[in-house]
Chains A and B, each alone.
Chain A
Protein backbone atom coordinates (compact mmCIF):
# COMPACT_ATOMS: atom_id res chain seq x y z
CA UNK A 1 0.00 0.00 0.00
CA UNK A 2 1.52 3.39 -0.95
CA UNK A 3 2.17 5.80 1.88
CA UNK A 4 0.10 8.97 2.19
CA UNK A 5 1.50 11.67 0.00
CA UNK A 6 0.31 14.60 2.00
CA UNK A 7 -0.66 14.97 5.62
CA UNK A 8 -4.39 15.01 6.00
CA UNK A 9 -5.13 12.91 2.95
CA UNK A 10 -6.36 9.38 3.61
CA UNK A 11 -3.80 6.62 3.18
CA UNK A 12 -3.51 5.12 -0.25
CA UNK A 13 -5.80 7.66 -1.82
CA UNK A 14 -5.32 7.48 -5.56
CA UNK A 15 -5.24 10.77 -7.37
CA UNK A 16 -5.45 10.27 -11.06
CA UNK A 17 -8.36 7.89 -10.82
CA UNK A 18 -10.48 10.87 -9.71
CA UNK A 19 -10.42 12.15 -13.28
CA UNK A 20 -11.90 8.89 -14.48
CA UNK A 21 -14.83 9.27 -12.11
CA UNK A 22 -15.27 12.86 -13.19
CA UNK A 23 -14.97 12.26 -16.89
CA UNK A 24 -18.42 10.99 -17.97
CA UNK A 25 -20.32 13.72 -16.12
CA UNK A 26 -17.92 16.37 -17.28
CA UNK A 27 -18.16 15.36 -20.94
CA UNK A 28 -21.95 15.71 -20.99
CA UNK A 29 -21.78 18.88 -18.93
CA UNK A 30 -19.13 20.47 -21.12
CA UNK A 31 -20.82 19.50 -24.38
CA UNK A 32 -24.34 20.59 -23.47
CA UNK A 33 -23.74 23.46 -21.08
CA UNK A 34 -20.25 24.93 -21.09
CA UNK A 35 -19.71 24.86 -24.83
CA UNK A 36 -23.15 26.37 -25.58
CA UNK A 37 -22.41 29.10 -23.04
CA UNK A 38 -19.19 29.99 -24.84
CA UNK A 39 -21.04 29.87 -28.15
CA UNK A 40 -23.68 32.21 -26.70
CA UNK A 41 -20.99 34.72 -25.85
CA UNK A 42 -19.55 34.36 -29.36
CA UNK A 43 -22.96 34.68 -31.07
CA UNK A 44 -23.76 37.77 -29.03
CA UNK A 45 -21.10 39.69 -31.01
CA UNK A 46 -22.77 38.90 -34.32
CA UNK A 47 -25.73 40.07 -36.28
CA UNK A 48 -27.14 36.73 -37.40
CA UNK A 49 -30.57 35.59 -38.58
CA UNK A 50 -29.87 31.88 -38.06
CA UNK A 51 -29.76 31.12 -41.79
CA UNK A 52 -27.33 33.25 -43.78
CA UNK A 53 -23.81 34.26 -42.87
CA UNK A 54 -23.45 36.23 -39.64
CA UNK A 55 -21.81 39.65 -39.49
CA UNK A 56 -19.47 40.73 -36.68
CA UNK A 57 -20.88 43.80 -34.97
CA UNK A 58 -18.90 43.90 -31.73
CA UNK A 59 -20.81 45.19 -28.76
CA UNK A 60 -23.80 46.52 -30.73
CA UNK A 61 -26.17 43.85 -29.37
CA UNK A 62 -25.24 44.85 -25.84
CA UNK A 63 -25.57 48.53 -26.66
CA UNK A 64 -29.06 47.76 -27.88
CA UNK A 65 -30.01 46.32 -24.49
CA UNK A 66 -29.29 49.72 -22.98
CA UNK A 67 -30.71 51.86 -25.76
CA UNK A 68 -33.67 49.85 -27.07
CA UNK A 69 -36.90 50.81 -25.37
CA UNK A 70 -38.50 47.35 -25.47
CA UNK A 71 -35.42 45.53 -24.19
CA UNK A 72 -34.87 48.05 -21.46
CA UNK A 73 -38.45 47.70 -20.34
CA UNK A 74 -38.14 43.89 -20.38
CA UNK A 75 -35.34 44.16 -17.82
CA UNK A 76 -37.43 46.73 -15.92
CA UNK A 77 -40.32 44.25 -15.81
CA UNK A 78 -37.96 41.63 -14.39
CA UNK A 79 -37.16 44.02 -11.53
CA UNK A 80 -40.86 44.44 -10.83
CA UNK A 81 -41.26 40.66 -10.86
CA UNK A 82 -38.51 40.44 -8.23
CA UNK A 83 -40.74 42.47 -5.93
CA UNK A 84 -43.58 39.99 -6.44
CA UNK A 85 -41.49 36.80 -6.48
CA UNK A 86 -38.98 37.62 -3.77
CA UNK A 87 -39.61 40.75 -1.70
CA UNK A 88 -43.29 40.16 -0.92
CA UNK A 89 -42.91 36.40 -0.24
CA UNK A 90 -39.94 37.00 2.07
CA UNK A 91 -41.84 39.68 4.03
CA UNK A 92 -45.06 37.66 4.22
CA UNK A 93 -43.08 34.48 4.94
CA UNK A 94 -41.26 36.16 7.82
CA UNK A 95 -44.52 37.30 9.31
CA UNK A 96 -46.26 33.95 8.89
CA UNK A 97 -43.32 31.89 10.07
CA UNK A 98 -42.71 33.99 13.17
CA UNK A 99 -46.39 33.84 14.09
CA UNK A 100 -46.41 30.07 13.63
CA UNK A 101 -43.10 29.61 15.40
CA UNK A 102 -44.29 31.17 18.65
CA UNK A 103 -46.78 28.43 19.40
CA UNK A 104 -46.64 24.71 18.83
CA UNK A 105 -49.42 24.22 16.34
CA UNK A 106 -50.83 20.84 15.48
CA UNK A 107 -51.23 20.07 11.80
CA UNK A 108 -47.96 21.71 10.83
CA UNK A 109 -46.81 18.76 8.68
CA UNK A 110 -50.05 18.92 6.72
CA UNK A 111 -49.66 22.66 6.33
CA UNK A 112 -46.09 22.23 5.09
CA UNK A 113 -47.20 19.67 2.53
CA UNK A 114 -49.95 21.94 1.23
CA UNK A 115 -48.01 25.18 0.92
CA UNK A 116 -45.17 23.36 -0.81
CA UNK A 117 -47.50 21.91 -3.41
CA UNK A 118 -47.30 24.86 -5.87
CA UNK A 119 -43.56 24.18 -6.18
CA UNK A 120 -44.26 20.71 -7.49
CA UNK A 121 -46.94 21.42 -10.07
CA UNK A 122 -45.62 22.21 -13.55
CA UNK A 123 -45.50 25.96 -14.20
CA UNK A 124 -47.52 25.41 -17.37
CA UNK A 125 -50.33 23.92 -15.27
CA UNK A 126 -50.05 26.83 -12.84
CA UNK A 127 -50.23 29.26 -15.73
CA UNK A 128 -53.28 27.55 -17.24
CA UNK A 129 -55.02 27.73 -13.86
CA UNK A 130 -54.27 31.42 -13.33
CA UNK A 131 -55.19 32.32 -16.89
CA UNK A 132 -58.59 30.92 -16.08
CA UNK A 133 -58.78 32.83 -12.79
CA UNK A 134 -57.90 36.12 -14.52
CA UNK A 135 -60.20 35.56 -17.53
CA UNK A 136 -63.02 38.08 -18.13
CA UNK A 137 -65.52 35.38 -17.07
CA UNK A 138 -63.06 33.88 -14.58
CA UNK A 139 -63.29 33.33 -10.86
CA UNK A 140 -61.57 36.57 -9.82
CA UNK A 141 -64.23 38.65 -11.57
CA UNK A 142 -66.94 36.35 -10.20
CA UNK A 143 -65.60 36.95 -6.72
CA UNK A 144 -65.56 40.71 -7.27
CA UNK A 145 -69.11 40.56 -8.58
CA UNK A 146 -70.26 38.62 -5.54
CA UNK A 147 -68.70 41.27 -3.32
CA UNK A 148 -70.58 43.97 -5.24
CA UNK A 149 -67.36 45.35 -6.71
CA UNK A 150 -68.51 45.04 -10.33
CA UNK A 151 -66.68 48.21 -11.28
CA UNK A 152 -63.35 46.48 -10.64
CA UNK A 153 -64.07 43.60 -13.00
CA UNK A 154 -61.90 43.42 -16.09
CA UNK A 155 -59.82 41.12 -18.30
CA UNK A 156 -56.82 41.21 -16.00
CA UNK A 157 -54.25 39.84 -18.40
CA UNK A 158 -55.40 42.11 -21.21
CA UNK A 159 -55.02 45.29 -19.19
CA UNK A 160 -51.88 47.29 -19.99
CA UNK A 161 -51.39 48.52 -16.45
CA UNK A 162 -52.47 45.41 -14.56
CA UNK A 163 -51.15 42.49 -16.63
CA UNK A 164 -47.65 42.64 -15.13
CA UNK A 165 -48.83 42.81 -11.50
CA UNK A 166 -51.28 40.00 -12.31
CA UNK A 167 -48.45 37.80 -13.62
CA UNK A 168 -46.30 38.85 -10.68
CA UNK A 169 -48.96 37.86 -8.19
CA UNK A 170 -48.80 34.30 -9.51
CA UNK A 171 -45.16 34.39 -8.42
CA UNK A 172 -46.19 35.57 -4.96
CA UNK A 173 -48.61 32.66 -4.75
CA UNK A 174 -45.95 30.27 -6.01
CA UNK A 175 -43.06 31.31 -3.78
CA UNK A 176 -44.62 32.32 -0.45
CA UNK A 177 -45.09 28.74 0.74
CA UNK A 178 -41.52 27.79 -0.09
CA UNK A 179 -40.16 30.83 1.74
CA UNK A 180 -42.40 30.26 4.76
CA UNK A 181 -41.38 26.62 5.17
CA UNK A 182 -37.72 27.54 4.73
CA UNK A 183 -37.90 30.30 7.36
CA UNK A 184 -39.94 28.14 9.71
CA UNK A 185 -37.21 25.50 9.59
CA UNK A 186 -34.63 28.16 10.41
CA UNK A 187 -36.68 29.56 13.28
CA UNK A 188 -37.28 26.15 14.83
CA UNK A 189 -33.52 25.88 15.29
CA UNK A 190 -33.34 29.05 17.42
CA UNK A 191 -32.63 28.19 21.04
CA UNK A 192 -35.55 28.82 23.41
CA UNK A 193 -33.14 30.45 25.87
CA UNK A 194 -32.79 33.43 23.59
CA UNK A 195 -36.53 34.04 23.67
CA UNK A 196 -36.68 33.56 27.40
CA UNK A 197 -33.89 36.07 27.92
CA UNK A 198 -35.67 38.54 25.69
CA UNK A 199 -38.92 38.05 27.58
CA UNK A 200 -37.18 38.55 30.92
CA UNK A 201 -35.91 41.84 29.50
CA UNK A 202 -39.54 42.72 28.92
CA UNK A 203 -39.61 42.30 25.15
CA UNK A 204 -43.02 41.97 23.50
CA UNK A 205 -43.65 39.94 20.34
CA UNK A 206 -42.48 42.77 18.09
CA UNK A 207 -39.20 43.40 19.88
CA UNK A 208 -38.70 39.67 20.19
CA UNK A 209 -39.00 39.43 16.40
CA UNK A 210 -36.45 42.16 15.68
CA UNK A 211 -34.03 41.27 18.49
CA UNK A 212 -34.05 37.47 18.28
CA UNK A 213 -35.89 35.97 15.33
CA UNK A 214 -34.75 38.20 12.48
CA UNK A 215 -31.00 38.10 13.22
CA UNK A 216 -31.12 34.32 13.69
CA UNK A 217 -32.59 33.53 10.28
CA UNK A 218 -30.42 35.79 8.14
CA UNK A 219 -28.87 32.76 6.48
CA UNK A 220 -32.29 31.36 5.60
CA UNK A 221 -33.41 34.76 4.32
CA UNK A 222 -30.35 34.84 2.05
CA UNK A 223 -31.13 31.39 0.68
CA UNK A 224 -34.82 32.19 0.19
CA UNK A 225 -33.97 35.47 -1.55
CA UNK A 226 -31.47 33.81 -3.86
CA UNK A 227 -33.91 31.10 -4.89
CA UNK A 228 -36.83 33.45 -5.44
CA UNK A 229 -34.88 36.21 -7.20
CA UNK A 230 -33.45 33.67 -9.62
CA UNK A 231 -36.95 32.27 -10.17
CA UNK A 232 -38.21 35.79 -10.91
CA UNK A 233 -35.44 36.44 -13.42
CA UNK A 234 -35.97 33.08 -15.14
CA UNK A 235 -39.73 33.38 -15.54
CA UNK A 236 -40.42 32.11 -19.01
CA UNK A 237 -43.19 29.49 -19.08
CA UNK A 238 -45.50 31.64 -16.96
CA UNK A 239 -45.24 34.60 -19.32
CA UNK A 240 -45.31 32.42 -22.44
CA UNK A 241 -48.54 30.70 -21.43
CA UNK A 242 -50.43 33.54 -19.74
CA UNK A 243 -49.71 36.65 -21.81
CA UNK A 244 -47.10 35.95 -24.48
CA UNK A 245 -45.45 39.18 -23.35
CA UNK A 246 -48.55 41.24 -24.10
CA UNK A 247 -50.62 43.32 -24.21
CA UNK A 248 -48.13 45.33 -26.26
CA UNK A 249 -44.92 44.35 -24.52
CA UNK A 250 -46.18 45.18 -21.06
CA UNK A 251 -45.31 41.75 -19.60
CA UNK A 252 -42.25 40.96 -21.68
CA UNK A 253 -39.26 39.80 -19.61
CA UNK A 254 -35.64 39.05 -20.62
CA UNK A 255 -36.11 35.28 -20.81
CA UNK A 256 -39.13 35.78 -23.02
CA UNK A 257 -37.15 38.22 -25.19
CA UNK A 258 -34.47 35.55 -25.69
CA UNK A 259 -37.05 33.16 -27.10
CA UNK A 260 -38.94 35.82 -29.05
CA UNK A 261 -35.84 37.28 -30.66
CA UNK A 262 -34.13 34.01 -31.54
CA UNK A 263 -37.08 31.97 -32.74
CA UNK A 264 -39.72 34.48 -33.83
CA UNK A 265 -37.82 37.55 -35.02
CA UNK A 266 -34.74 35.72 -36.31
CA UNK A 267 -32.36 37.96 -34.39
CA UNK A 268 -30.12 35.28 -32.96
CA UNK A 269 -27.19 37.48 -31.95
CA UNK A 270 -29.39 39.87 -30.06
CA UNK A 271 -31.12 36.94 -28.29
CA UNK A 272 -27.74 35.54 -27.27
CA UNK A 273 -26.70 38.92 -25.88
CA UNK A 274 -29.87 39.11 -23.79
CA UNK A 275 -29.24 35.56 -22.53
CA UNK A 276 -25.64 36.34 -21.60
CA UNK A 277 -26.67 39.55 -19.85
CA UNK A 278 -29.37 37.69 -17.94
CA UNK A 279 -26.80 35.11 -16.81
CA UNK A 280 -24.45 37.85 -15.62
CA UNK A 281 -27.26 39.55 -13.71
CA UNK A 282 -28.21 36.26 -12.01
CA UNK A 283 -24.59 35.49 -11.09
CA UNK A 284 -24.06 38.99 -9.73
CA UNK A 285 -27.24 38.97 -7.65
CA UNK A 286 -26.54 35.51 -6.19
CA UNK A 287 -23.02 36.56 -5.27
CA UNK A 288 -24.19 39.75 -3.58
CA UNK A 289 -26.97 38.02 -1.62
CA UNK A 290 -24.67 35.20 -0.50
CA UNK A 291 -21.99 37.68 0.50
CA UNK A 292 -24.49 39.53 2.70
CA UNK A 293 -25.93 36.30 4.12
CA UNK A 294 -22.48 34.89 4.87
CA UNK A 295 -21.18 37.97 6.59
CA UNK A 296 -24.20 38.27 8.81
CA UNK A 297 -24.31 34.65 9.89
CA UNK A 298 -20.56 34.41 10.41
CA UNK A 299 -20.36 36.91 13.24
Chain B
Protein backbone atom coordinates (compact mmCIF):
# COMPACT_ATOMS: atom_id res chain seq x y z
CA UNK B 1 0.00 0.00 0.00
CA UNK B 2 1.02 3.54 -0.58
CA UNK B 3 1.15 5.56 2.58
CA UNK B 4 -0.76 8.78 3.15
CA UNK B 5 2.54 10.65 3.52
CA UNK B 6 3.72 9.40 0.16
CA UNK B 7 0.45 10.42 -1.41
CA UNK B 8 0.71 13.97 -0.17
CA UNK B 9 4.36 14.10 -1.22
CA UNK B 10 3.11 13.13 -4.66
CA UNK B 11 0.75 16.08 -4.78
CA UNK B 12 3.53 18.42 -3.74
CA UNK B 13 5.69 17.12 -6.58
CA UNK B 14 2.80 17.50 -9.02
CA UNK B 15 1.99 21.04 -8.00
CA UNK B 16 5.62 22.16 -7.85
CA UNK B 17 6.30 20.83 -11.30
CA UNK B 18 3.11 22.27 -12.77
CA UNK B 19 4.05 25.69 -11.35
CA UNK B 20 7.54 25.35 -12.84
CA UNK B 21 6.04 24.57 -16.24
CA UNK B 22 3.46 27.33 -16.13
CA UNK B 23 5.38 30.18 -14.48
CA UNK B 24 7.17 31.59 -17.56
CA UNK B 25 3.96 31.43 -19.58
CA UNK B 26 1.98 33.13 -16.85
CA UNK B 27 4.67 35.83 -16.58
CA UNK B 28 3.99 36.76 -20.19
CA UNK B 29 0.21 36.68 -19.82
CA UNK B 30 0.40 38.78 -16.68
CA UNK B 31 2.64 41.38 -18.32
CA UNK B 32 0.35 41.50 -21.34
CA UNK B 33 -2.58 42.34 -19.08
CA UNK B 34 -0.58 44.79 -16.97
CA UNK B 35 -0.28 48.57 -17.19
CA UNK B 36 0.63 49.78 -20.70
CA UNK B 37 4.16 50.92 -21.49
CA UNK B 38 4.77 54.64 -21.60
CA UNK B 39 4.52 56.30 -24.97
CA UNK B 40 2.02 53.94 -26.56
CA UNK B 41 -0.73 56.52 -26.20
CA UNK B 42 -3.06 54.07 -24.53
CA UNK B 43 -4.12 54.28 -20.94
CA UNK B 44 -6.36 51.24 -20.85
CA UNK B 45 -4.69 48.35 -19.09
CA UNK B 46 -5.44 44.81 -20.20
CA UNK B 47 -7.20 44.37 -23.49
CA UNK B 48 -6.02 47.77 -24.71
CA UNK B 49 -2.49 46.35 -24.85
CA UNK B 50 -3.57 43.78 -27.40
CA UNK B 51 -5.16 46.45 -29.55
CA UNK B 52 -1.95 48.49 -29.34
CA UNK B 53 0.25 45.51 -30.16
CA UNK B 54 -2.05 44.71 -33.06
CA UNK B 55 -1.68 48.26 -34.37
CA UNK B 56 1.95 49.09 -33.53
CA UNK B 57 3.35 45.62 -34.08
CA UNK B 58 1.34 44.87 -37.27
CA UNK B 59 0.30 41.53 -35.82
CA UNK B 60 -2.86 41.54 -37.93
CA UNK B 61 -0.75 41.24 -41.08
CA UNK B 62 1.48 38.56 -39.58
CA UNK B 63 -1.44 36.48 -38.36
CA UNK B 64 -3.04 36.59 -41.79
CA UNK B 65 0.17 35.24 -43.35
CA UNK B 66 0.50 32.58 -40.64
CA UNK B 67 -3.08 31.43 -41.14
CA UNK B 68 -2.63 31.28 -44.91
CA UNK B 69 0.64 29.33 -44.68
CA UNK B 70 -0.61 26.94 -41.99
CA UNK B 71 -3.91 26.17 -43.73
CA UNK B 72 -2.14 25.58 -47.03
CA UNK B 73 0.57 23.38 -45.50
CA UNK B 74 -1.92 21.36 -43.45
CA UNK B 75 -4.37 20.77 -46.31
CA UNK B 76 -1.78 19.89 -48.93
CA UNK B 77 0.52 17.81 -46.75
CA UNK B 78 -2.30 15.85 -45.08
CA UNK B 79 -3.77 15.02 -48.48
CA UNK B 80 -0.40 14.01 -49.96
CA UNK B 81 0.52 12.04 -46.82
CA UNK B 82 -2.72 10.04 -46.94
CA UNK B 83 -1.98 9.13 -50.55
CA UNK B 84 1.64 8.14 -50.00
CA UNK B 85 1.00 6.53 -46.61
CA UNK B 86 -1.69 4.44 -48.30
CA UNK B 87 0.73 3.31 -50.98
CA UNK B 88 3.40 2.32 -48.45
CA UNK B 89 1.03 0.83 -45.92
CA UNK B 90 -1.36 -1.16 -48.08
CA UNK B 91 0.29 -1.88 -51.43
CA UNK B 92 3.37 -3.81 -52.39
CA UNK B 93 5.56 -2.54 -55.12
CA UNK B 94 9.13 -2.68 -56.30
CA UNK B 95 11.41 -0.31 -54.41
CA UNK B 96 9.00 0.41 -51.57
CA UNK B 97 11.69 -0.25 -48.95
CA UNK B 98 14.35 2.15 -50.23
CA UNK B 99 11.72 4.74 -51.14
CA UNK B 100 10.36 4.64 -47.62
CA UNK B 101 13.81 5.14 -46.12
CA UNK B 102 14.19 8.15 -48.38
CA UNK B 103 11.06 9.64 -46.78
CA UNK B 104 12.34 8.74 -43.31
CA UNK B 105 15.47 10.76 -43.97
CA UNK B 106 13.28 13.85 -44.17
CA UNK B 107 12.04 13.40 -40.60
CA UNK B 108 15.54 13.47 -39.19
CA UNK B 109 16.88 16.20 -41.41
CA UNK B 110 17.20 19.61 -39.76
CA UNK B 111 15.90 22.62 -41.71
CA UNK B 112 19.34 24.12 -41.23
CA UNK B 113 20.79 21.67 -43.74
CA UNK B 114 18.44 22.49 -46.59
CA UNK B 115 17.58 26.12 -46.02
CA UNK B 116 20.86 27.46 -47.41
CA UNK B 117 20.79 25.84 -50.87
CA UNK B 118 17.04 26.25 -51.02
CA UNK B 119 17.31 29.98 -50.51
CA UNK B 120 19.90 30.48 -53.25
CA UNK B 121 18.12 28.19 -55.73
CA UNK B 122 14.75 29.82 -55.12
CA UNK B 123 16.37 33.22 -55.41
CA UNK B 124 17.72 32.41 -58.84
CA UNK B 125 14.20 31.33 -59.81
CA UNK B 126 12.82 34.61 -58.44
CA UNK B 127 10.74 32.76 -55.88
CA UNK B 128 12.16 34.14 -52.64
CA UNK B 129 9.94 36.68 -50.95
CA UNK B 130 6.84 34.77 -51.99
CA UNK B 131 4.23 32.76 -50.15
CA UNK B 132 5.50 29.64 -51.93
CA UNK B 133 9.02 29.93 -50.60
CA UNK B 134 7.64 29.78 -47.06
CA UNK B 135 4.94 27.16 -47.61
CA UNK B 136 6.37 24.55 -49.99
CA UNK B 137 9.50 23.57 -48.00
CA UNK B 138 7.24 23.03 -45.01
CA UNK B 139 4.87 20.90 -47.09
CA UNK B 140 7.88 18.75 -47.95
CA UNK B 141 8.89 18.37 -44.29
CA UNK B 142 5.34 17.57 -43.24
CA UNK B 143 4.87 15.06 -46.04
CA UNK B 144 7.93 13.19 -44.76
CA UNK B 145 6.43 12.95 -41.30
CA UNK B 146 2.86 12.39 -42.53
CA UNK B 147 3.85 9.55 -44.84
CA UNK B 148 5.56 7.82 -41.96
CA UNK B 149 2.58 8.46 -39.70
CA UNK B 150 -0.13 7.31 -42.11
CA UNK B 151 1.86 4.29 -43.26
CA UNK B 152 2.12 3.08 -39.67
CA UNK B 153 -1.61 3.57 -39.22
CA UNK B 154 -2.69 1.92 -42.45
CA UNK B 155 -0.35 -1.00 -41.84
CA UNK B 156 -1.38 -1.73 -38.30
CA UNK B 157 -5.10 -1.56 -38.63
CA UNK B 158 -6.24 -2.58 -42.02
CA UNK B 159 -4.91 -5.88 -43.34
CA UNK B 160 -8.07 -7.93 -42.91
CA UNK B 161 -10.25 -5.02 -43.90
CA UNK B 162 -8.33 -4.45 -47.11
CA UNK B 163 -8.60 -8.07 -48.10
CA UNK B 164 -12.33 -8.16 -47.40
CA UNK B 165 -12.90 -5.02 -49.42
CA UNK B 166 -10.86 -6.40 -52.30
CA UNK B 167 -12.83 -9.62 -52.33
CA UNK B 168 -15.97 -7.51 -52.51
CA UNK B 169 -14.46 -5.92 -55.60
CA UNK B 170 -13.91 -2.44 -54.18
CA UNK B 171 -11.66 -0.27 -56.30
CA UNK B 172 -8.44 1.06 -54.82
CA UNK B 173 -9.84 4.57 -54.71
CA UNK B 174 -13.00 3.46 -52.95
CA UNK B 175 -10.98 1.38 -50.52
CA UNK B 176 -8.94 4.41 -49.49
CA UNK B 177 -11.57 7.15 -49.32
CA UNK B 178 -14.67 5.25 -48.26
CA UNK B 179 -13.25 2.57 -46.01
CA UNK B 180 -9.80 3.43 -44.66
CA UNK B 181 -9.90 7.22 -44.34
CA UNK B 182 -13.10 7.38 -42.24
CA UNK B 183 -11.58 4.84 -39.87
CA UNK B 184 -8.30 6.71 -39.75
CA UNK B 185 -9.92 9.89 -38.52
CA UNK B 186 -8.16 9.94 -35.10
CA UNK B 187 -4.76 9.46 -36.75
CA UNK B 188 -5.57 12.15 -39.31
CA UNK B 189 -6.69 14.61 -36.63
CA UNK B 190 -3.50 14.08 -34.62
CA UNK B 191 -1.42 14.59 -37.74
CA UNK B 192 -3.37 17.75 -38.56
CA UNK B 193 -2.76 19.20 -35.11
CA UNK B 194 0.94 18.35 -35.17
CA UNK B 195 1.50 19.75 -38.65
CA UNK B 196 -0.49 22.87 -37.83
CA UNK B 197 1.53 23.40 -34.66
CA UNK B 198 4.90 22.89 -36.34
CA UNK B 199 3.99 25.13 -39.25
CA UNK B 200 2.57 27.90 -37.08
CA UNK B 201 5.68 27.85 -34.85
CA UNK B 202 8.30 27.48 -37.61
CA UNK B 203 10.87 30.22 -37.51
CA UNK B 204 13.96 29.54 -39.60
CA UNK B 205 12.29 29.01 -42.99
CA UNK B 206 10.24 32.24 -42.97
CA UNK B 207 13.22 34.12 -41.51
CA UNK B 208 15.41 33.13 -44.42
CA UNK B 209 12.87 33.12 -47.23
CA UNK B 210 11.17 36.51 -46.88
CA UNK B 211 12.34 40.05 -46.32
CA UNK B 212 9.06 41.69 -47.30
CA UNK B 213 7.28 42.70 -44.12
CA UNK B 214 3.84 41.77 -45.40
CA UNK B 215 5.00 38.17 -45.85
CA UNK B 216 6.24 37.69 -42.29
CA UNK B 217 4.63 34.97 -40.22
CA UNK B 218 3.58 35.65 -36.63
CA UNK B 219 6.66 34.22 -34.83
CA UNK B 220 8.92 36.10 -37.23
CA UNK B 221 6.94 39.28 -36.66
CA UNK B 222 7.34 38.84 -32.92
CA UNK B 223 11.11 38.41 -33.19
CA UNK B 224 11.41 41.58 -35.26
CA UNK B 225 9.04 43.43 -32.96
CA UNK B 226 11.32 42.52 -30.07
CA UNK B 227 14.28 43.94 -31.98
CA UNK B 228 12.57 47.24 -32.77
CA UNK B 229 10.37 47.78 -29.78
CA UNK B 230 12.53 48.29 -26.74
CA UNK B 231 10.42 50.46 -24.43
CA UNK B 232 8.98 48.21 -21.76
CA UNK B 233 7.70 44.69 -21.99
CA UNK B 234 3.91 45.01 -21.98
CA UNK B 235 3.38 45.35 -25.73
CA UNK B 236 5.93 42.66 -26.48
CA UNK B 237 4.13 40.35 -24.07
CA UNK B 238 0.80 41.18 -25.71
CA UNK B 239 2.33 40.32 -29.08
CA UNK B 240 3.68 37.05 -27.67
CA UNK B 241 0.23 36.12 -26.41
CA UNK B 242 -1.27 36.90 -29.81
CA UNK B 243 1.27 34.64 -31.51
CA UNK B 244 0.83 31.75 -29.08
CA UNK B 245 -2.93 31.80 -28.66
CA UNK B 246 -4.18 30.01 -31.82
CA UNK B 247 -2.09 26.89 -31.18
CA UNK B 248 -2.71 26.90 -27.44
CA UNK B 249 -6.48 27.11 -27.96
CA UNK B 250 -6.39 24.28 -30.47
CA UNK B 251 -4.23 22.27 -28.09
CA UNK B 252 -6.55 22.80 -25.14
CA UNK B 253 -9.54 21.70 -27.22
CA UNK B 254 -7.84 18.58 -28.53
CA UNK B 255 -5.28 17.90 -25.80
CA UNK B 256 -6.60 14.49 -24.76
CA UNK B 257 -6.45 13.34 -28.31
CA UNK B 258 -3.24 15.12 -29.03
CA UNK B 259 -1.23 13.78 -26.09
CA UNK B 260 -2.48 10.24 -26.69
CA UNK B 261 -1.60 10.46 -30.38
CA UNK B 262 1.79 11.95 -29.66
CA UNK B 263 2.69 9.24 -27.13
CA UNK B 264 1.43 6.47 -29.36
CA UNK B 265 3.35 7.83 -32.31
CA UNK B 266 6.52 8.30 -30.32
CA UNK B 267 6.49 4.80 -28.92
CA UNK B 268 5.61 3.24 -32.23
CA UNK B 269 8.64 4.90 -33.87
Contact = CB atoms under 8 A, between A and B. Distances in A.
Interface of A: 1, 6, 9-19, 21-22, 24-26, 28-29, 31-34, 36-37, 39-40, 42-43, 50, 96, 99-100, 102-103, 105, 107-118, 120-126, 128-133, 139, 173, 176-177, 180-182, 185-186, 219-220, 223-224, 226-227, 230, 233-234, 236-237, 240-241, 254-255, 258-259, 262-263, 268, 271-272, 274-276, 278-279, 282-283, 286
Nearest to B26: A129
23 contacts: A13-B166, A25-B84, A25-B146, A25-B147, A26-B84, A28-B80, A33-B141, A33-B144, A40-B116, A100-B10, A105-B7, A107-B11, A117-B248, A121-B25, A124-B243, A132-B233, A132-B237, A173-B20, A182-B266, A230-B108, A234-B112, A268-B120, A278-B113
B236 A100 contact: no
A139 B23 CA distance: 11
Interface string B67-95: 00000000010001101101110011110
Nearest to A233: B110
Contacts of A115: 17-18, 21
A9 B240 contact: no
B255 A236 contact: no
A194 to B, nearest CB: 16
Interface string B211-241: 0000000111011001000000100110010
A98 to B, nearest CB: 11
B203 A237 contact: yes
A117 B259 CA distance: 10
Given A29-B140, A32-B140, 19 more contacts: A11-B167, A15-B93, A25-B146, A34-B106, A36-B117, A39-B117, A43-B117, A99-B10, A99-B13, A100-B14, A118-B25, A125-B219, A129-B24, A130-B24, A173-B21, A176-B21, A182-B267, A263-B208, A282-B110
Measured as residues with beta carbon below 8 angstroms from the partner, the interface class of chain B is 35 or more
A278 B110 CA distance: 8
A13 B252 CA distance: 42
Contacts of A272: 116-117
Contact of B27 (A17, A33, A129, A278): A129
A132 B243 contact: no
Nearest to B269: A223
Contacts of A241: 223, 226
A282 B222 contact: no
Contacts of A220: 267
B244 interface: yes
Given A11-B167, A122-B244, A258-B112, A240 B259 contact: no
Given A114-B22, A133-B24, A268-B120, A128 B113 contact: no
Given A18-B87, A103-B10, A219-B267, A268 B93 contact: no
Contacts of B86: 21
A32 B93 contact: no
B137 interface: yes
Contacts of B143: 25, 28-29
Interface centre among A31, A124, A262 (most CB of B within 10 A): A124
B21 A117 contact: yes
Contacts of A102: 2, 6, 10
Interface string B163-203: 10011010010000000000000000000000001001101
7 A-B pairs with the lowest CB-CB distances in the bound complex, closest first: A39-B117, A32-B140, A25-B80, A25-B84, A36-B114, A275-B113, A21-B87
Contact of B117 (A40, A128, A227): A40
A28 B256 contact: no
A283 B219 CA distance: 28
B144 A237 contact: no
A123 B2 CA distance: 39
Contacts of A177: 17, 21
A181 B259 contact: yes
Nearest to B193: A120
B107 to A, nearest CB: 9
A258 B255 contact: no
A294 to B, nearest CB: 11
Given A25-B83, A279-B110, A113 B93 contact: no
